[in-house]
Amino acid sequence: MTAPLPNQLNSADALVLYGESFASRLLLGTSRYPSPLVLENAVKAANPAMITVSLRRQGTSTTEAHSGFWELLKKMAVPVLPNTAGCHSPQEVITTAQMAREVFETNWIKLELIGDDYTLQPDTLRLVQTAETLIKDGFKVLPYCTEDLILCQRLVDAGCQAIMPWAAPIGTGQGPLNPFAMKLLRDRIKVPLIVDAGLGLPSHACTVMEWGFDAVLLNTAVALSEDPVAMAKAFAMATDAGRSAYLSGAMKPQTSAQASTPLVGTPFWHQS
């Protein structure tokens, strides 16, 4: 497989989710930024495929939906991915998703069903059934989950056409804590996989993209950096670099040193 040139990457290698194409393989959250202006500039710098927003944390009335924050979202002209952050029961998720669909006029939803307040780990026991209910209601569901292979396969079986496994608990910035499980997940799950949560450095994003993951979703790593705008740009470049490296096909690791320069003047029988 021949990798596209950097300036050809987005057009030649679009991210496809539920039949829709996106030029970027970076998704960006909208919370915890120092100011709306910093958020706006970070989004411009990253040029993400989507921006995520939590309806529960921003307010749910139609009046609020047309106030400053929502007007800023419209101004940025980036597709919005509402999420169900803060929901602890399937009914909360379903109600929040339906409200988000009305407010944002979109069937896209990032499904978050929290099972533990300390780690913000998903409720894996009820996640699949909740996803299935939303899909039957016409939503394009992107479920936030752990890197558990069986859970992710059950979500695919339920109709999810993309999965969002974490690399580490939300907001920790630790990077991928279980490389074996994540690589196994990439090998076995055939729908797009978007690494959601736990990435702290552009190198983390580059690494998971080199493993073959399809996209990354970031928030805290950008919003809480000293320069969110520059960090957003760094993550965008790292994501593209990781994808390009994956498509290029990395060399196989060697067990011994291999000379990388020609041995001019040395008899061929001494060159092996």
- Give catalytic status of residue 136 as yes or no: no
Q: Are 137 and 93 in contact (CB under 8 A)?
A: no
Catalytic residue among 74, 75, 110, 140: 110
Q: Which of 55, 77, 53 is nearest to 64 (CA)?
A: 55
Lookup: tokens for 122: 């998903």
Q: Which of 181, 177, 244 is nearest to 209 (CA)?
A: 244
- Between CA 118 and CA 152 the distance in angstroms is 22
- Between CA 39 and CA 223 the distance in angstroms is 8
- Whether residue 219 is annotated as binding a ligand: the answer is yes
**Residue 54, helix vs strand vs coil:** strand
- Whether residue 59 is annotated as binding a ligand: the answer is no
- Between CA 25 and CA 10 the distance in angstroms is 8
Neighbouring CB atoms inside 10 A of 5's CB total 9
Measure the CA angle with vertex 212, ends 174 and 162; round to 5°. Answer: 85
- Whether residue 10 is annotated as binding a ligand: the answer is no
Q: What are phi and psi of 89, to 5 degrees?
A: -140, 155
- Between CA 154 and CA 131 the distance in angstroms is 10
Cα-only R_g, the chain: 20
Q: Which of 48, 130, 134, 136 is nearest to 99 (CA)?
A: 134
- Between CA 100 and CA 115 the distance in angstroms is 21
Q: Are 140 and 131 in contact (CB under 8 A)?
A: no
Catalytic residues, by residue number, are 110
Residues placed in the known binding site for 1-deoxy-D-xylulose 5-phosphate: 171, 197-198, 219-220
